[in-house]
Every structure is written in C-alpha cells, then in structure tokens.
Amino acid sequence: MHQVVIAGAGPVGLWLAAELRLHGTEVTVLEERTAPDPHSRATSLHPRTLEMFDSRGVAGPFLAEGVRIPGGHFAALPARLDYSRLDTPHRLTLALPQARTEELLADHARAAGADLRRGHRVTGLTQDDEAVTVHVDGPDGPYRLRTAYLVGCDGTRSAVRQAAGIDFPGTGATFWAWMGDVVLDNPPRTPALTNEHGSLMVFPLPGGIHRVVGNDTATNRTRPDGPPTFEQLRTKVRHIAGTDYGMRDPGWLSTFGNSARQAAHYRLGRVLLAGDAAHTHFPAGGPGLNVGLQDAFNLGWKLARVLHGTAPDALLDSYHAERHPVGTDLLRSTRAQSGLMTDHSRETLALRDLLAELIDGVPDFCDDLAARSAGLAVRYPAADPDAHPLTGTRVPDLHPAGTTLFTLLRPGHPVLLDLTGSTRLDHLARPGLTLHSAPLTRPHPGWDTATAALVRPDGHLAWRTDADTGTDADADADTGTGDGLGDAAAAALAASGLVAAALAA
C-alpha cells in the first residue's frame, strides 16, 4: 500500500511531495497533463515563500532567475508597500513565471525521490478507516491505488474534492479582467495606473517580457467569450493609459474572473486538500500560489509524523484548524482588493487616494499591510492560553552564533534553541530534533529577551521562554530533572507532540 498519493503536479503538489520525501515518506504524484503547462497564470513569489525555500536550501535557483521587485502592492494602489523594514532576508517580490517555478520544484521533488506520473488522471475514490482507494485513468487504461492518505492539489476543479464530497461554497464571477505577456519597447516608469477608464498593472518577467494585467469599465462586467486578441488588448491599454507602451510580440493572452470559493473541510478522513483545490479567488497581489505552497509547508511534516508513528492522527486535524482561517482571510483580502481595482466610480477612486495616503503617511499601517502581503503575518492559535504571546507566529531568520535558523531548519526537524549559550539543554538532544545553543548575534524585533525557543519544522513558534531559570550546575547534576530551563524545554517538547515518541523512548 502507498503511504501518500498526491493528485496534481503543480507547484503545490510538487512542494508537498518534496516535503514528505524529506522525512522518508513514500510519495506518488499523479498528474493528468502529459507535459508541464507552458502558460503561467501565477508569476509572483512572496517573501514568506522565499523564506520557506531558504529553510530547505533551495532558494538559490529561484533567486538567480527571477526578477526582483522591491516591495509589493495592495489593490494596485500607487503607493507601494515598503518591504525594507520587514524582518526577513527576502525583502522583495520575485517575478518568475509559474511554468519555471513548476520546473524547479519538479526537479526538487524528483531529486528527493518522489514518483511523478504524468498522464494519470484521478477519476474517483473510496475511503475506509484504513486507507483510500484511488481510481485512476492512466496511459494503459484504468487502475486503482491503495494509499494511507490522498491529498488533492489538483486545482479549482479538483476531482479529489468532488469525489470526496467536500463542499466548495462561495460566489461565482461577477466581473472579469484580462492579461497578456508582451514585449514593451517603452515600459511605464510606474507599475500601476487606475482612472475612470479602468485599472492597469505592468511588471517585468524574465526574458525581456512584460505582463500587462487590467480591466476596463466598458467590458469588466461582461462575461468574455474567450481570450482577447492582441489588437483588443492594445486598444484597452491605450484607452486606460493613453499609450500602448510600444506593445508587440504577444505571447499568452487570457481572461479571469473574481470567483471566490473555499473548501468547507481541508481534511475529510484520509483525504486532504491544499492550494487551489482548497481555495480560489481573484488574483489580486498574486497570493494564491504562495498561500498554496504554505498550505503544503504546514501539512507535510504533520502527515509524515503521523505516518511514521511519532504523532497521533489528531495532528492532521490541526491542518484544517490552522490553514482554513488563512484561506478565509485570503478571500477577504482579495475581495477587498478586487473591489478597489474594478469599481472606477468617483467614490472608489477617492477611497483609493485615501488608502494610498495612509500607506505613504502612516508607517504602522504600511508595515502591517506589508507583512500581510508578504505572507509574514500568519499566526496559528496557541493551545495553551498562558503560552508566550508570540506562540504560533512565524519565527524570523534568527542568527544564533555560528548559523541561522533557516539553515537549522533544512533537515525538516523541529529546532530547539538555547539562546543563553549554555549546556543546560544538551541532555534533550535526540534523533529528529535539531538542538543549537548559542546567543543571538543580530537583533530581531521582539527577540532580545528570549532565552529558549522551540520552532516547528514549518518555522512557526511552538514554545518560547524569556526566563533565565536554573544554572549549568543544575543541569550537570541532574540533567534537567530539577526546576529550570531544561525542565521547561522538556515539558514544551512533550506538550508540542513534535518529538513526543522520542522523549517517551
């Protein structure tokens, strides 16, 4: 029997496959397409996504190929979001076509040992208490796979979601926008423009291409009967901007709407959903691909630990509990932005001007919106009401002497940090846990008083203390069995469930 079958070899399915293989989990990825899709609906990788790649040691190829865009945007407002004050080594939006992102992640998944099968379409499933039987139509005809868990990463029309009977409530499209990948001889100096005629965004892609995205008042409430022609695209751009920027050599042209839906359950028994199979929305700011990759980052280590017996099955319930609210917030944000981007009334244009002034003039407002846009503001609920106030937040790339947190996370294990630089936690070292004892060598907002912390494999804080209790002599004498930092860390490890089986042994 297979351990995990993933439906869908898009970026989310491939990233999840690599995460599972990091823990030695057997993974089979089924993809209906016989070849990768050459078109790229998504083009932006946000700071949190780059942090995740960095935490697994694979950020380099993406950074080498992508176009670096400083900051980000909210609803294509003229005031850009400033990423320079964010506590991250990746203060940028990386423009990279989804097709190339998919290629790089496919290489990563294959190198990790994932079994990628193209031309295999999931047609149905049945599940019981022990496993899921996946119905597949392959190149040699229909067949079935028996697997402990099935994960649907197969897009908005997810066959897995439909076959599992998971509802996908939400709203259908009420307006539509258009896009085109073109060469521009005279690209604009500013990336965004909105006026009474419509909205327009222009940004560079690798290879001398620009993506032009917009909507116009004449057509954005009419369902299109197909993609725009090049002449139609050029006419629309001229109507909004007064110029076509020397547009030529069209590539992919497409339209898209503002349908917004979210799966009622991210887990139903042994079936789970991630990415577009779990949520779909208007691509304002390009968060969809990033949130999907972050779904997989949350799910991978949990699924692996359940399969390997180091965590109870109930850990998988936390996947829905933690990620469903993130999807809900995603829909709220993109709905708000789509309203600001597609309603060109005087009232909405005035609201846009006001929000732009707030972004430029109120640093706290800008910083909060920037952190949300960058994917750095996600916070998971803490089970203990007395937990440290930062519990559940994403931990920045701390720099304890000799290394960085993202480097320590690369094996995919939880990381226990003794930031006092003592030996009081050395007795907790064991397989499946990365232990590092050293003080911080760089300041990080909110971390100057921390003495110890436990970081989950996905980089979120499981436990932290600011108390410097106990002494090295205490630890040497009783290996942490008395009151002190060692006892607190051991209790946190056991309560977290991250290495509970190892502690029991």
Q: How far apart are the first and last CA of the chain?
A: 28
**Contact 292/276 with Cβ under 8 angstroms?**
yes
- The pLDDT tens digits of the residues spanning 67-96 come to 999 999 999 999 999 999 999 999 999 999
Count the Cβ atoms, other than its own, within 10 Å of residue 270.
21
DSSP for 374-395, please give it.
HT---BPPPSSTTS-TTTTBBP
Q: How many helices (H) and strands (E) does the chain have?
A: 14, 24
Residue 499 pLDDT greater than 80, yes or no: no
| The two three-digit tokens of residue 282, written as one number | 């208007």
Dist. CA 201–CA 190, nearest whole Å: 9
| Beta-carbon contacts of residue 502 (< 8 Å; ≥ 6 apart) | 310, 430, 431, 432, 433
Dist. CA 112–CA 24, nearest whole Å: 9
Dist. CA 236–CA 218, nearest whole Å: 9
Entry field: residues in the chain: 505
Angle between helices 317-342 and 288-307 (to 10 degrees): 180
Alpha carbons within 13 angstroms on the beta-carbon side of residue 375 total 29
Q: Distance from CA of residue 276 to its chain's centroid?
A: 11
Domain annotation for the chain: domains and CATH numbers: 2-43+98-171+260-341 (3.50.50.60), 63-96+343-378 (no CATH), 180-257 (3.30.70.2450), 405-504 (3.40.30)
The pLDDT value given to residue 289: 96
Rg for the chain (alpha carbons), in Å? 24
List phi, psi (to 5°) of 133.
-100, 120
Which of 214, 212, 171 lies closest to 195 in space, CA to CA?
A: 214
Average pLDDT over residues 252-270: 97
Average pLDDT over residues 412-426: 95
pLDDT cut 90: percent of the chain above it: 89
Q: Please give the C-alpha separations between residue 51 and each of 87, 94, 359, 376, 498, in angstroms, as whole numbers.
A: 11, 12, 25, 9, 21
Average pLDDT over residues 255-277: 97
Give me the chain's average pLDDT, please.
Answer: 93
The pLDDT value given to residue 251: 94
DSSP for 94-163, please give it.
EE--HHHHHHHHHHHHHHHT-EEEET-EEEEEEE-SS-EEEEEEETTEEEEEEEEEEEE-S-TT-HHHHH
Dist. CA 93–CA 69, nearest whole Å: 5
The pLDDT value given to residue 355: 97
| The two three-digit tokens of residue 276, written as one number | 């577009």
Dist. CA 35–CA 28, nearest whole Å: 17
Which of 91, 156, 138, 116 lies closest to 6 in space, CA to CA?
A: 116
Dist. CA 188–CA 284, nearest whole Å: 20
Average pLDDT over residues 147-160: 98
Position with higher pLDDT, 169 vs 480: 169
Dist. CA 393–CA 320, nearest whole Å: 17
Q: Please give the C-alpha separations between residue 38 and each of 41, 88, 97, in angstroms, as whole numbers.
A: 10, 32, 9
The pLDDT value given to residue 94: 97
Dist. CA 198–CA 133, nearest whole Å: 49
For 61-92, b/e burial (b = at least 16 CB within 10 A) is bbbebbbebebbbbbbbbbbbbbeebbbbbbb
The H-or-E segment that residue 68 falls in is strand 67-70
- The pLDDT tens digits of the residues spanning 119-139 come to 999 999 999 999 999 999 999
| The two three-digit tokens of residue 455, written as one number | 């970081």
Q: Which residues pair with 192 in a beta bridge?
A: 201
**Contact 199/215 with Cβ under 8 angstroms?**
yes
- The beta strand positions in 153-262, using DSSP E, are 170-171, 176-184, 192-195, 198-205, 209-216, 247-248, 253-257, 260-262
The pLDDT value given to residue 347: 96
**Contact 94/67 with Cβ under 8 angstroms?**
yes
At residue 415 the predicted structure's pLDDT band, cuts being 50, 70 and 90, is very high
In three-state secondary structure terms, 235 is helix
- The pLDDT tens digits of the residues spanning 437-483 come to 999 999 999 999 999 999 999 999 999 999 876 544 444 434 444 44
Which residue in this structure is represented by tokens 């990759």?
A: 293
The pLDDT value given to residue 452: 96
- The pLDDT tens digits of the residues spanning 17-39 come to 999 999 999 999 999 999 988 98
**Contact 60/107 with Cβ under 8 angstroms?**
no
Position with higher pLDDT, 37 vs 244: 244
Which of 96, 99, 97, 125 lies closest to 30 in space, CA to CA?
A: 125
Determine whether 221 is exposed, middle or buried from the number of CB atoms within 10 Å of its CB (0-12, 13-18, 19+).
exposed
- The pLDDT tens digits of the residues spanning 281-321 come to 999 988 999 999 999 999 999 999 999 998 999 999 999 99
- The pLDDT tens digits of the residues spanning 330-388 come to 999 999 999 999 999 999 999 999 999 999 999 999 999 999 999 999 999 998 899 99
Greatest Cα pair distance, the chain, in angstroms, is 80
